[in-house]
A and B are shown apart, each in its own frame.
Chain A
Amino acid sequence: MRETALKDVLRAFLATLLAVLVYSLAGGAGPALLIVLNAFSVVVLYFSVRRGEVFGAFLGTACGLVQDSFSLGVFGVGGLTKTLLGFWAGFISRRIDVVPVFRNGLFMLAMSVLEMILWVLVTAVVRRESLNFHGGLILLQPLVTAVLGSSLFAVERRLRARGSRGA
């Protein structure tokens, strides 16, 4: 049990590094890609569903703070929203079945939209000014997060099925 938890901590750490890598590459590809793609949210959602609310909250804190350290915005806003995202995602996925593909995608979308709403609200309160929505481009971010997150689960399911067939 402890070994599995340690393995997941290590995987989560590697996934956070991978998110930094994806974010770095996206930055080189242009500002539009950075606006629609939030690799840190995908990592938090994936591991929260796998490991539950406590793991999700801690991973959300870590990923959010790393994301904040690469931004000029108020440090902690990303941390707070991703902590809540991790907790909600882990909590809800323990109570309803989010394994079926369509439901999984819908769940990811709902969680990403909630995160975005929370981020907009917290930023507006902290900075006391309206946000730049980049001509609505930022609204695509939850959709992209949901598609990437559910694709990860789909790939994992397929790999497991292939593995069990092989065994």
Chain B
Amino acid sequence: MPIWEKRRSALILAGLVAFHILLISIQIPRGAEKSLFEKSLFFLFSPVQRAVIGAVRGVGSLWTNYFDLRGVRGENQKLKKEIFFLNQDVRFLGDQLQLYRSEAQVRERLAAFQGKIVPARVIGADSANPYQTIVLDKGSLDGIGKDMAVCDRLGNLVGRTIEPVNFKETMVQLITDKDSSVSVVSSVAGLTGSVTGTSGAVCELRYVLASASGGQLGEELLTTGYDKIYPAGLRVGTIKSLEKDKLSPIFRLITVEPYFRLNTIDIVAVIAKTGGGE
């Protein structure tokens, strides 16, 4: 009997394991960048996810729309939509005022946002760790591309769009992901640093020197725009704790509580390219 027949199972397993090891190996230098194969699988299966969520929401809305005060529901939807956009505007206006003293600068910044907000629904979360990514129901056909800032209903920063961007689905890297990094400044003391996720519910404010004074519990952090991805002035979160970093005595260990809540996030605003921190 040939060796193939005798050890068929073991040979198949060895082949599959070798395939995976090769697949993992070729990604290591690229980090989080998606391979073509991975993009293809996302392309194939994300519409299934979209259809499932669409069907569930469709059944839900059918019930509520037809059996539960149809007229009031429609008006409510309209008002909610208006509130969504108004909230974004108010947030951006307030945040811009904090960062830019000159009125002309404020007008210029706000003009950049006009007509560039794409509302989208969350249709999925990361299969390995929900604090890493979410999937939206809008894609390249709606004007969404890579590296666009994503905010929640209240204008708080949620993350940025990353590849793969399908025609009608997009993946978003959350600010709570450990590979995420957002350049921020604290609203009172003006501490600058980088908010990095921990793949959990909280983030860390990194690269704040131990010698830097100021910073207090509850102090708000806003984006600076230096990273050229997130527009300046978006609300990120508040300082939760300040300690000495035992592992790296040069820096302070600052824990940040993000404003957005993963449990309740449903509709988000994607800010189409505004030129980052320009």
Could you tell me the distance between the alpha carbons of A73 and B41 in the complex, rounded to whole angstroms? 15
Interface size class of A (residues with CB under 8 A): 35 or more
**Which residues of chain A (60-97) have a CB below 8 Å from chain B?**
61, 65-80, 83-84, 87, 91
The 10 residue pairs across chains A and B that have the minimum distance between CB atoms: A31-B130, A69-B41, A76-B23, A80-B20, A27-B125, A71-B128, A70-B127, A76-B24, A24-B49, A75-B38
Interface centre among B20, B46, B262 (most CB of A within 10 A): B20
Which listed residue, B12, B20, B123, B131, touches A24 by the CB 8 Å rule? B123
Contact of B38 among A28, A53, A68 (CB under 8 A): A68
Q: Is the CB of B45 within 8 A of A66?
A: yes
- Asked if B220 lies at the interface with its beta carbon under 8 angstroms from chain A, I say no
Q: Counting CB contacts under 8 A, is A34 at the interface?
A: yes
Our pick among A34, A73, A74 for the contact of B130 (Cβ within 8 Å) is A34
From known contacts A67-B127, A71-B126, A80-B17, infer whether A91 and B9 are also in contact, taking CB-CB under 8 Å.
yes
Is A70 a contact of B32 with CB atoms below 8 Å? no
Which of the residues A23, A53, A72, A84 comes within 8 Å of B173, measured between beta carbons? Answer: A72
A10 within 8 A of B: no
Closest Cβ of chain A to B130, distance in Å, is 4
Given contacts A69-B38, A79-B23, A54 and B127 within 8 Å (CB-CB): no
The A-B contact count (CB < 8 A) is 141
Task: Give the complex CA separation of A36 and B178 in angstroms.
Answer: 20
> Are B130's CB and A80's CB within 8 A?
no
The answer to whether A20 has its CB under 8 Å from any CB of chain B is yes
A72 to B23, CA, bound (A): 15
- Determine if A75 and B128 form an interchain contact, defined as CB atoms under 8 angstroms apart: no
How distant is the Cα of A151 from the Cα of B140 in the complex, in angstroms?
Answer: 42
Q: Name 10 A/B residue pairs within 8 A (Cβ), A-sorted.
A: A24-B52, A25-B52, A30-B263, A34-B125, A34-B126, A61-B19, A71-B132, A75-B24, A84-B13, A84-B17
A57 at the interface (CB under 8 A from B): yes
> What residues of chain A lie closer than 8 Å to B41, measured between beta carbons?
65-66, 68-69
Indicate whether A164 reaches chain B with its CB closer than 8 angstroms.
Answer: no
CA distance A14 to B25 in the complex (A): 31
CB distance from B129 to the nearest CB of A (A): 7
Once the chains bind, are A57 and B52 in contact (CB under 8 Å)? no
Given contacts A20-B52, A84-B17, A132-B200, contact A70 B45 (CB under 8 A): yes
Considering the complex, give the chain B residue whose CB is closest to the CB of A67.
Answer: B127
Is there a chain B Cβ closer than 8 Å to A126's Cβ?
yes
Nearest A residue to B41 by beta-carbon distance?
Answer: A69
Interface residues of B in 217-267 (CB under 8 A from A): 262-263
| Residue of A17, A40, A68 ringed by the most chain B CB atoms within 10 A | A68
CA distance A57 to B13 in the complex (A): 7
Contact A76/B52 with A31-B262, A31-B263, A70-B45 known, Cβ cut-off 8 Å: no
